[in-house]
Amino acid sequence: MDALLALDQGTSSSRALVFGRDGRLLASAQRELTQHFPQPGWVEHDAEEIWAGQIACAREALGKAAVKVAAIGITNQRETTVLWDRRTGQPLHRALVWQDRRTAALCEQMRRQDLEPMIRARTGLLLDPYFSATKLRWLLDTIPGARERAVRGELAFGTVDSWLLWKLTDDGQGGAVHATDVSNASRTLLFDIHRGDWSDELLHAFDIPRSLLPEVRPSAGVFGQAVEFGVAVAGIAGDQQAALFGQAALQPGQAKNTYGTGCFLLMHTGAQARTSTQGLITTRAAQVGTQAQYALEGSVFVGGAVVQWLRDGLRSIGGSGEVQALAESVPDAGGVVFVPAFAGLGAPYWRPDARGALLGLTRGTTQAHIARAALESIAFQSAAVLAAMNADVGEGEHLTELRVDGGASANDLLMQFQADLLGIPVLRPRVIETTALGAALLAGLGAGVYASTDEIGAIWQLDRAFEPRMSRDEAGARLAQWDHAMRQVLAG
């Protein structure tokens, strides 16, 4: 059997999933990942815990599936930054997570130096703490001796995919592979997405030694041998590009929204890098072969994480699976609007200084109203991103459907409300683990299990289509209520 192992290293957990050649999920395993918040706005992970959890999941999932896999694919939380010693393989510091905002002042300083237009032109990204370059700069400037060691070639930088690839291929004799794929490289602020290479101009602007950087390769292809498992790592893509691939959204104009810790809406734009005027970013899509592929992306920093906050912060639910029942215990949010700007605001606002707010509270507000408003906030934020995307592409190319995936896409209440706000069908596939599936499919292509991407489209199957039920007038009124709340938050 041509089974495939996907390592799905996310923000809140590490998972391993085994898929059959037909895309059926055969087995899975998961470990939660500890979140560290040393200061307000700072978010860190222990890179060794990431590795330990991920390898444990891989062993468990393979044990459950009891099949031999043909290849391994990696998909990962993007932008999260790891710096380690090339000789010992030991991290020098906890990983700085994509949500981390400690470099906001550095970004503002570079903005005042008028560097953002050049950065935007080369990378398709905004100058924001979200991305890896300023995180890496902070590590080099803060850890004693790190910059000098980096110049001497003693250290390695990578996003989480590179860290896992290094650990998987480390044979103890200097054989570890230091590489990444184009989709992850395009999230660092150091990669020229048009030339397809690290940019000396960007490295100079961020004061990053080139010796730190991994080799950049296409997303499908043999990266190296996973020592413990005796098979090739043959596919790598950042989580959102992997989900786009797993949704079989391979043609220009196709789009998906992933409801994970954050929400990420991507539209495939083919071989054309389209520049946004609406606060979206241009990024590399997963690449098979030599032809570069691009996507427009809108990133919502707090999506499913708001449910975690209900569980861990407010303690209004005992587990994430309880939120739908609590929210459905009231007919509506009772006028409550929840803006979950726990880590600033992403697209299309890009306000790292914004903070969360609960508005419209009355004496009659209950935990159920807050839970419903929390779920609705995920859909409202995604609707704002889709509106920006439609404005970018023009009326003739407006989205006519949205494919959805990720853990929160299993929530029928949320998906129905999303369709109501957007006014287009929301399509949920049978396999909502499309991030992991995308990594597995890329590995299958890289290892020759699939002959071409033509086979990928046939694997995608619909589970349920959520058709809009709300009138456009009512949807417009709800969106106006959200816009009013956002103006108050943005006004500070």
- State the residue for tokens 């009013």: 484
- State the residue for tokens 């419903």: 372
pLDDT of residue 227: 94
Tell me: the pLDDT tens digits for 185-205? 999 999 999 999 999 999 999
Alpha-carbon span 368 to 333, nearest angstrom: 8
Side-chain half-sphere CA neighbours of 333 within 13 A: 22
What's phi and psi for 12, nearest 5 deg?
A: -105, -15
Tell me: the pLDDT tens digits for 225-268? 999 999 999 999 999 999 999 999 888 888 999 888 888 999 99
Alpha-carbon span 80 to 131, nearest angstrom: 8
What's phi and psi for 20, nearest 5 deg?
A: -75, 170
- Report, as an integer, the average pLDDT of 394-421: 88
pLDDT at 422 over 90: yes
End-to-end CA distance of the chain: 57
pLDDT at 396 over 80: no
- Rounded to two decimals, what is the model's pTM? 0.87
Alpha-carbon span 319 to 164, nearest angstrom: 29
What's phi and psi for 419, nearest 5 deg?
A: -65, -40
Largest CA distance in the chain: 66
Written as six digits, the tokens of 311 are 């569980």
Tell me: the pLDDT tens digits for 77-135? 999 999 999 999 999 999 999 989 899 999 999 999 999 999 999 999 989 898 999 99
Residue-by-residue DSSP string for 92-129: SSPEEPTT--TTHHHHHHHHHTT-HHHHHHHHSS-S-T
Contact 342, 333 (CB under 8 A): no
Task: Please list the residues that pair with 19 across neighbouring strands.
Answer: 4, 25
Which has more pLDDT, 254 or 445? 445
Tell me: the pLDDT tens digits for 311-353? 888 788 777 778 888 888 999 989 999 999 887 888 888 887 8
CA-wise closest residue to 374 among 312, 327, 319: 327
Which of the four pLDDT bands, split at 50, 70 and 90, describes residue 1? low
**Secondary structure element (H or E) that encloses residue 437, with its range:** helix 434-447
pLDDT of residue 73: 98
Surface-to-core class of residue 16, CB atoms within 10 Å of its CB (0-12 exposed, 13-18 middle, 19+ buried):
buried
Contact 406, 259 (CB under 8 A): yes
CATH code: domain 3-240 is 3.30.420.40
Alpha-carbon span 199 to 193, nearest angstrom: 9
CA distances from 134 to 41, 100, 110, 179, 349 (A): 15, 11, 10, 20, 20
Written as six digits, the tokens of 47 are 């890179």
